[in-house]
Chains A and B, each alone.
Chain A
Amino acid sequence: MQALTNRVKEVNRKPMSFMEKLYLPAIFKGMAITFSHIFKKKPTIQYPEQKREFSPVFRGLHVLNRDEEGRERCTACGLCAVACPAEAITMEAAERLPGEEHLYREEKYAARYEINMLRCIFCGLCEEACPKDAVYLSETFAPANYTRKGFVYGKEDLLIPNPKTDPQGLAEARGQHI
């Protein structure tokens, strides 16, 4: 019969030979294979105790950066939200008041900055879009949560520890993130 495609595979329909009918040689061969797996190295990573090493370009959870003096870099320009293909980022801008210069780097800042981690596809376009070096993708991923609301990360979840007031916390976070 003319084959319709060139990917046709002949099926061997010959009756089984005597050796095949014995089943035993094939069974022993299979058992030898499984036995050899006893001595193989197990690729399992014991998760909570052991963590997989990520490559430096891994795109994980976002962090909101501060500058050396501990001021938030974000100016709520909205470029990250525009760049986001999953529309995961929401923000509200506010004006810096006199006396808040130690908190915010520029005259405008993000009063609310939320990323929905269920929407986010971790493409890193927000990181690329940011003109102020404010948003970065770290090397951790979102832990499990009980509610959908729990996956909407606000500013308190995203901001890195203040290098001025909490240098130890920052060092600890650096060990895990960035």
Chain B
Amino acid sequence: MTILAFDWALLIEKLVLIAIIVFGSLGIALYTTFAERKVAAILQDRPGPNRAGPFGLLQPFADGLKLIMKEEIIPNTSNKVLFILGPAMAMTAALMTCAVIPWSSHVELFDRKIELQIADINIGILYVFGVVSMGVYGIMIGGWASNNKFSLMAALRGASQAISYELAMGLALIAVLMLSGSLSLKTIVGEQMAQGNLWNIAYQPLGFLIFFVCALAECNRTPFDLPEAENELNFGYHQEYSSMKLGFYLFAEYVNMIMSSAIMACLYFGGYDVPFLDESTLAPNIAALIGVGALLVKIVIFIFIFMWIRWTIPRFRYDQLMNLGWKTMIPLALANMLITGAVILWRAGG
């Protein structure tokens, strides 16, 4: 009878939360593709897609339907298992990140206190890094299993780029961890929300810059979209893919963008904190709703900046990318870490 003693309500609560968050982020990703096209168009003095539905709002569904209806081609020289595993892993890794993101404080429903976070694990940010590193396998396996030279080249680029920039990203993060003294994203956000504390961006401007640039590289966004360099690699690591497998790769990129925006918002911009508002004076449910809204606004702003950059800056050359990663980002991140540590020690001592 031990199984009945299990907290079933908690299970249901978490399942509902997971469903909402996963489908929510997929929905947002759907509309991010639309936003990308719209932003690109507006920055280029065009109106963008505006035929499907009012303001073209049904365009993502049309695109999705098109991808699903396309013929599914698996090249006969490819490794079939890995060929299918590639996009699946890319998508899984992208979606898994959302487990530790604190979407807001807690709501009180049916006499239960429901945390709006799937899992508040004490190594939250480490988990994020682990999962993000898994995302590289999606690119790598997909590119390798295609049995195509261009795909393989792109996969190699993607892997080396992700590894190089993860280092600087991790080092930039250590400075944040020194400030908050915790790996849990909830604690990091809580620290920034506390009275008298500013958002981490105020203490870590350089760290944020490094983190942001590395996030661009991790998401394979311009100016670091070398794995998808059409003019050198035809199409990139997903060249042999068609139909929804290609859709998964493209979609995973957008989900990654949302997740890295959410993480940047949590680490440096106070997560679900609204500036100049004391959440503790509000009813918890209202505060939670406002929090979700605040986090979403921050995510949207970050996504816009991602796109804005994409439609402004040309792609880096491969050697420039590596130079920037190893000779600039990592030393800068190290210096940032040392200075942060020194200041913390000095303030603790003085």
Contact = CB atoms under 8 A, between A and B. Distances in A.
B45 A31 contact: no
A35 B308 CA distance: 8
Interface string B33-76: 00000000011111100100000000000000000000000000
Interface in A36-51: 37-38, 40-44, 46
A27 interface: yes
Nearest to A27: B313
A44 B42 CA distance: 11
B234 interface: no
B312 interface: yes
25 contacts: A21-B328, A23-B324, A27-B313, A30-B312, A31-B308, A31-B309, A34-B43, A34-B308, A34-B311, A34-B312, A35-B43, A35-B308, A37-B42, A37-B43, A37-B45, A38-B42, A38-B43, A40-B45, A41-B45, A42-B45, A42-B46, A43-B45, A44-B46, A44-B47, A46-B47
Interface of B: 42-47, 50, 308-309, 311-313, 324, 328
Given A27-B313, A30-B312, A42-B47, 12 more contacts: A21-B328, A23-B324, A27-B309, A27-B312, A30-B313, A31-B309, A34-B311, A34-B312, A35-B43, A38-B43, A40-B45, A44-B46
Nearest to B39: A38
Contacts of B324: 23
B217 to A, nearest CB: 13
Interface of A: 21, 23, 27, 30-31, 33-35, 37-38, 40-44, 46
Contacts of A27: 309, 312-313
| Across the A-B interface, the 4 shortest Cβ-Cβ residue pairs | A34-B312, A30-B312, A34-B43, A31-B312
A69 B44 CA distance: 53
Nearest to B50: A46
Nearest to A33: B312
Contacts of A43: 45
A40 B47 CA distance: 11
Nearest to B305: A31
Contacts of B44: 37
A46 B49 CA distance: 11
A31 B310 CA distance: 10
A46 B47 CA distance: 9
A49 B340 CA distance: 60
Contacts of B42: 37-38
Contacts of A44: 46-47
Contacts of A30: 312-313
